[in-house]
C-alpha cells in the first residue's frame, strides 16, 4: 500500500537564526506518512533564502520531497496560501520557521484526521503556562474567547501555529488574509461551514520579540475584526467549491465500486 503524504507548509521571513535547525527537526521526525516539505520564502532580506537553498541541496535525497517557493513579501497568510496551492498531501500542517513548536507533535495532530474523526485539528497550548509575555498570553486568550463567543465553539487556542487539515478540504477553502489575519479567517470559515475543529495538546517553547517574534498588538486587533467580519460575510463561493469536492468524491467512490463488481 502506498503511504499517505503529509504536506508541511513552512512560511519563512527573516529567520536566518532558526530556519536550518527547524528544517533539521522536521526532517528527522518519524511519521506514519511520507513528508512533503514546502518552504515558502516570503521575501526575506537576511540570509534565509541562502540557508534554505543550501539545506535543500544537502537533504533533498533524504526527504521524500522538498519544494522551495520564493516570493515577494506579503505576509504569513500569503505564504501559507502559496504553500497550500503547491501541496499534494493527504494532510496539511502549518509550521512556523522558528523553534517555538516541536515537530514531534505532528503525529498527534494528524492522527484524528487519519482516523476519520475530523477534517481539522488544532494543536492547543491551552494548558501551557509559559508565554512570550503576559500580553501575548492575554491576547491569544482574548482572540480565542472572542471566536467562541461569535461562533459558539469551544476552542482553547485559536491562534496556534499547528493548524492541521485534510488536504483536499483545505485546498478547496478560499481565504483572503495575507498577514496573520488568515488564521481567524480560516477558523471562522470552517466553523461556519459546519466543520468541527478538534484540539490536541502540544508542546510550546515561546520566544520574545527581541528573539525575532513578529506578531504584535496590531495583528491582535486585526484578528478580532477579521473574526467579526467572517461571522457575517457570505460564503457562497466556499459552499459551491465544497459541493464540487463532494460530487468529485462521490464520483470516485462510484467508479471504485464498479471496478470491484
Residue 112: CB atoms within 10 A of its CB come to: 18
Assess whether pLDDT exceeds 80 at residue 240. Answer: yes
Q: For residues 77 and 178, is the Cβ–Cβ distance under 8 A?
A: yes
C-alpha cell at 242: 465544497
97 or 2: whose pLDDT is higher? 97
244 or 232: whose pLDDT is higher? 232
Whether the CA torsion 168, 119, 8, 73 is positive or negative: it is positive
Q: For residues 57 and 27, is the Cβ–Cβ distance under 8 A?
A: no
C-alpha cell at 158: 485559536
The enclosing domain of 112 has a CATH number of: 3.90.550.10
Stretch 53-77: mean pLDDT, rounded? 91
Per DSSP, 132 falls in state: S
Assess whether pLDDT exceeds 80 at residue 136. Answer: no
> Rounded to whole angstroms, how far apart are CA atoms 180 and 159?
9
C-alpha cell at 150: 461569535
Burial class (CB in 10 A: 0-12, 13-18, 19+), 186: buried
Stretch 13-40: mean pLDDT, rounded? 96
pLDDT of residue 40: 98
pLDDT of residue 259: 57
> Total domain count for the chain?
1
Among candidates 56, 8, 55, 12, which has minimal Cα distance to 35? 8
Assess whether pLDDT exceeds 90 at residue 62. Answer: no
pLDDT in tens, 105-126: 999 999 999 999 999 999 998 7
Give the structural domain span for 175.
5-260
Residues linked to residue 68 through DSSP beta bridges, in sequence order: 39
Amino acid at each position: 500500500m502506498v503511504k499517505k503524504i503529509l504536506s508541511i507548509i513552512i512560511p519563512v521571513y527573516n529567520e536566518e537564526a532558526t530556519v536550518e535547525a527547524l528544517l533539521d527537526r522536521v526532517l528527522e521526525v518519524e511519521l506514519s506518512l511520507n513528508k512533503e516539505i514546502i518552504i515558502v520564502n516570503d521575501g526575506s532580506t537576511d540570509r534565509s533564502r541562502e540557508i534554505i537553498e543550501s539545506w535543500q541541496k544537502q537533504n533533498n535525497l533524504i526527504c521524500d520531497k522538498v519544494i522551495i517557493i520564493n516570493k515577494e513579501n506579503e505576509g504569513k497568510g500569503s505564504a501559507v496560501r502559496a504553500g497550500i496551492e503547491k501541496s499534494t498531501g493527504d494532510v496539511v500542517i502549518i509550521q512556523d520557521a522558528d523553534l517555538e513548536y516541536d515537530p514531534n507533535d505532528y503525529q498527534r495532530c494528524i492522527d484524528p484526521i487519519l482516523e476519520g474523526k475530523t477534517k481539522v485539528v488544532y494543536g492547543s497550548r491551552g494548558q501551557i503556562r509559559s508565554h512570550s509575555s503576559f500580553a501575548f498570553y492575554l491576547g491569544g486568550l482574548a482572540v480565542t474567547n472572542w471566536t467562541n463567543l461569535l461562533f459558539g465553539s469551544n476552542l482553547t487556542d485559536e491562534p496556534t501555529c499547528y493548524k492541521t487539515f485534510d488536504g483536499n478540504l483545505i485546498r478547496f477553502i478560499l481565504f483572503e488574509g495575507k498577514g496573520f489575519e488568515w488564521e481567524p479567517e480560516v477558523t471562522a470559515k470552517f466553523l461556519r461551514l459546519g466543520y468541527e475543529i478538534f484540539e490536541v495538546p502540544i508542546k510550546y517553547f515561546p520566544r520574545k520579540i527581541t528573539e525575532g517574534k513578529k506578531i504584535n498588538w496590531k495583528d491582535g486587533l486585526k484578528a478580532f475584526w477579521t473574526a467579526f467580519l467572517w461571522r457575517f460575510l457570505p460564503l457562497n463561493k466556499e459552499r459551491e467549491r465544497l459541493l464540487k469536492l463532494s460530487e468529485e468524491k462521490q464520483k470516485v467512490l462510484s467508479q471504485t465500486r464498479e471496478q470491484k463488481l
